[in-house]
Amino acid sequence: MKNKFMFVLVGLMLLSACGAPKSNAMEARDAWARAGLKDGNSAAYMLISNGTAQNDELVGVSSDAAKAVEIHLSQMGADGTMQMLPQEAIALPAGGELELKPGSYHVMLIGLVKDLNLGDEITLTLHFQIHEDITLTVPVKEAADMGGSGMDGHNSMP
């Protein structure tokens, strides 16, 4: 805890020194989830920035919006179809960014406990190897609005 406090102090000094609005924390932003039906699946996306000085990993995600939550990577398979590969963890290098987006890494929501409609919100908690959890309120957006339809294997959802 002491180290962390020192890091925040140093970060504040750097901020005031150069005036750049750069964060020194772990942050997740621009999160959104696809609309979906109860008992079906959905996916959530976001941008995670590791502004800390430590390499870290995203090791899990939890939510009460679905029966199970997994981290997936969509990839084009040898047969030309999109496949989703479950990921144990995703590296978050110090100072790096990780974009979860259609056709790439995503948070897979398996077995929705209720319909997710445009304008609804769900809660996701991100778990890291080192950093403390981050809990996010994630708005539900129609996939069609984001131009990502069909890119990540979720287009077969009802």
Query: Minimum CB separation from Cu ion for residue 126, in Å?
Result: 16
Closest alpha carbon to 126 in 51, 44, 54, 67: 44
Cα 28 from Cα 105, distance rounded (Å): 14
Choice between 23 and 75, CB closer to Cu ion: 75
Choice between 44 and 134, CB closer to Cu ion: 44
The residue range among 14-22, 66-74, 96-104, 110-118 that interacts with Cu ion, by the rule CB under 5 A, is 66-74
- The helix/strand count (H/E) of the chain reads as 1, 10
Identify residues 71-100 at the interface with Cu ion (CB under 5 A). 72, 84
Q: Does 108 bind Cu ion (CB under 5 A)?
A: yes
Q: Does 112 bind Cu ion (CB under 5 A)?
A: no
- Residue 49 CA neighbour count, 13 Å, CB half: 9
Closest alpha carbon to 44 in 29, 24, 57: 29
The residue range among 46-54, 95-103, 105-113, 129-137 that interacts with Cu ion, by the rule CB under 5 A, is 105-113
Q: Does 131 bind Cu ion (CB under 5 A)?
A: no
3 state SS for 91-112: EECCCCEEEECCCCEEEEEEEE
Query: Minimum CB separation from Cu ion for residue 16, in Å?
Result: 43
Query: Minimum CB separation from Cu ion for residue 41, in Å?
Result: 7
Angle at 101 between CA 95 and CA 106, to 5 degrees: 90
Q: Does 34 bind Cu ion (CB under 5 A)?
A: no
Amino acid at 59: V
The residue range among 7-15, 68-76, 112-120, 129-137 that interacts with Cu ion, by the rule CB under 5 A, is 68-76
Extract the tokens encoding 23. Answer: 């964060």
Return residues touching Cu ion (CB under 5 A).
72, 84, 108
